[in-house]
Amino acid sequence: MLPRFILLVAILAVLELAAFDWRYRDLVYLSRPASVLDHASTGDFRTFADLALARPALTRAKLEVIAQTAAARHDDMVLFPALRRLANEYPADAGINLRLAEALRAVGHIEEADGYYRRALAASGGKP
């Protein structure tokens, strides 16, 4: 009985792996090393990043990965949604606000960038 049970649990564990991969394939994809993601096809990266960003709950680490990879790939279509979500979820984080402000300024959104500079200043207690 025990060997059959162990076999059954092993099969279930493999099926669970498959189910996890199906359920979270975007997050699994985004867990690849940075060097791999940096050279992945733009279509794949955008698809999985968009899927991930559409999730109601996303960990900070995963948002950071998306934002950093998008920045490295100069993919503003992904970078801004990722940074905006980070800034919304962690408004007290000066660094995030500053990064978003810098990114916005770089593409000429000065007015919006100014707002995030102010939020970064407020988050850092007024110390530049």
Partner 1 sequence: MPTYASPLAAVETSAATHDQPFDADSTLRYLESPARRRLNKVAAVLGVLVYAVYLVYRTLFTINPEALLFSLVVYAAEVHGFFALCFYFFQTWELRGRVVPAPANDLTVDVFVTTYNEDVAILRQTLRSAMAMTYPHTTYVLDDGRRDEVKALADELGCRYISRANNEHAKAGNWNNAFRQTTGQVIATFDADHAPRADFLVRTLGFFRDPKVALVQVPQRYHNLDSPQHRVDWKNRRMYGEQDVFFNLISPGKDNWNAAFFCGTGAVLRREALEPRGGLETGSITEDMHTALALHADGWKSVYLDELLVTGLAPMDFASLQVQRLRWAEGNLKIIRAINPLTEPGLTLPQRICYAGSMYHWTTGVAKLVFYFAPPWILFTGQYPIANFRPTFVFIYGALLLSLSVSYKVLSRGQGRLLMDELFNMATAFTLARAVKRLLVGRRRPSIFVVTRKGTSTTRDLTVALPFLGLVAFSLLGIEWCVLMLRFDVADDFFGLGLAMFWTVWNLWMMLAVIEIALRPPQRREACRFVTACPVTMQGTSPGGAPDTGMTANLSPTGCELLWLGPLPVGSRWSLSVALGAQTFECKGEITTTYHRRRGPWFVHGVRFLDLTNEQTDVLNDALLNMVVPRLFGDLSQPSQTVHLWRRIVKRVTDRYIARPRRSFINVPVQVTTGPATVLALLHDVSTNGFGVVMPRAVPPGTRMKVTVLGAQPWSVNVTVARSQPLPASLPAFQTWLVGLQVEAHVDASEVHRRMSEEVAA
Using CB under 8 A as the criterion, which residues of the chain lie in contact with partner 1 when the complex forms? 1-2, 5, 8-9, 12-13, 16-17, 20, 24, 27-28, 30-31, 59-62, 65
Closer residue to partner 1 in complex, CB, 42/59: 59
Residue 46 CB, shortest distance to partner 1, in Å, is: 19
Residue 61 CB, shortest distance to partner 1, in Å, is: 5
Residue 26 CB, shortest distance to partner 1, in Å, is: 10
For the chain, give the secondary structure using H, E and C.
CHHHHHHHHHHHHHHHHHHHHHHCHHHHHCCCCHHHHHCCCHHHHHHHHHHHHCCCCCCHHHHHHHHHHHHHCCCHHHHHHHHHHHHHHCCCCHHHHHHHHHHHHHCCCHHHHHHHHHHHHHHCCCCC
